[in-house]
Chains A and B, each alone.
Chain A
Amino acid sequence: MLVVTYSRRARETLRNACRSHEETVVRRFGRAALLRETEYGAFLACRLRERHGGDVQVERTEPFNEFADAPESVREAAAAYERRESPATPYDRFAAGTDHPESTEMRDREL
């Protein structure tokens, strides 16, 4: 679970919670933290939400499987672009005249 805080007090509470519950914290990033998906992780998230309301954002995260979650055209474009010969070529110039999707198309399409 990803917990992001949006006020100084909420950030402080999160920091303290992370310090006292290391076993439940997967990673800490400044004012955000990744909590383990255990009941205790949920307990901490609920407490933060209870105390700081809208200053706390809680999202469930899951691993990204590019073979299940992204279309093949996107995977192939990424792989081909990372293998490009000239590192300075921007993506859209690289994609022009090929079958690879344009960046604007990809931006507009939800997964």
Chain B
Amino acid sequence: MIRHERPAEAVDEDSPPVALHLPDGTTFEGPVIDLRGADVDPAPESIVDAVRAGEPTRPGRPTVHAPPPTRVHAHVARLGPDTDIDRRAALAAVGAARGVETAHDDDLAAARESLRSLSPPTVDAEELRAARRRAAAAGSEAERLRERVATLRGRVTALREEGDADARADAEASLSAATRDLSEASTERVAAAQRLSMLEERARRARDAREERLRLEDRVGNLERAVRHARADAVALEFHDARRRARSLLDGVPGRDAGGDAPSGLRDALAVAAIAPLGAPVVVDPGIAAAAGGLDTLETHLGGPFILR
């Protein structure tokens, strides 16, 4: 079980120094940056974007100078009355940020390695397509010539019974020309069919390797899911403790439901932020700090840097 107790007096040591640089050149430093009453432009969303993006950001945007954001920031970079999170995904992110080890890690690494080392033989789709086209063309040409030969043979027979010698000679010449063409076309048809079946056989063999790749991709996907579950499970107890603390912390927050509880998405998010190893700050709605009874209480709860905006 991984537990990071954060005694209040240790908070300042735990929280790395962070700085917020605004496009107008102003800079705020913390671990706790309080923008209440500060005459600054950026909306909370653009500060959240800056936190999630890490450094460097594009010119004209706020920049947060801090340790790089973790996966947890994808879920709880903003703490406000409307905050909602995918709890399991956020807990898995906390587990990942903490480096929680799971029973599936080795299998996952092995499966990823097998997938990397697998280079499926390439089926040249264009070559195969050309062969299919050639076989189809050769087949219909041979068919056309076969019909032509049959027709001409019929005419020659008819002219032998009655007809003039010239017409018969013409028909016989056409027949022998068509027979020659048919023979060539048949040769081409056989050659095209053999080439196609050779390429199809090669494609069939290549598919065994593709099959293996697909199997490994599925295995990696399943193991990743198992790892996420295990990571979320590993921090679940601690999360529930933190959630109870968050509940009392939030007694004065607006948007409470009929039972008098603060919004549960926010409670989840506060609990996640509290148990996550936060290097980069989170951006907290000032109303929450007020409800929590001040910056010190909030800082103790979060145990990491934050920006009030």
- What residues of chain A have their CB less than 8 Å away from a CB belonging to chain B? 6-8, 11, 31, 49, 53-55, 57
Contact = CB atoms under 8 A, between A and B. Distances in A.
A6 B207 CA distance: 7
A57 B214 contact: no
A11 B125 contact: no
Contacts of B207: 6, 57
Contact of A6 (B122, B124, B125, B214): B214
Contacts of B124: 54
Nearest to B128: A54
B217 A8 contact: yes
Interface pairs A-B: 6 shortest CB-CB? A54-B123, A53-B125, A6-B210, A54-B125, A8-B217, A6-B207
On chain B, which size bracket covers the interface?
10 to 19
A56 to B, nearest CB: 9
Interface in B117-139: 122-125, 128
Contacts of B122: 54
A57 B122 CA distance: 14
Contacts of A49: 125
Contacts of A7: 210, 213-214, 217
Contacts of B211: 6
B203 interface: yes
A11 B214 CA distance: 10
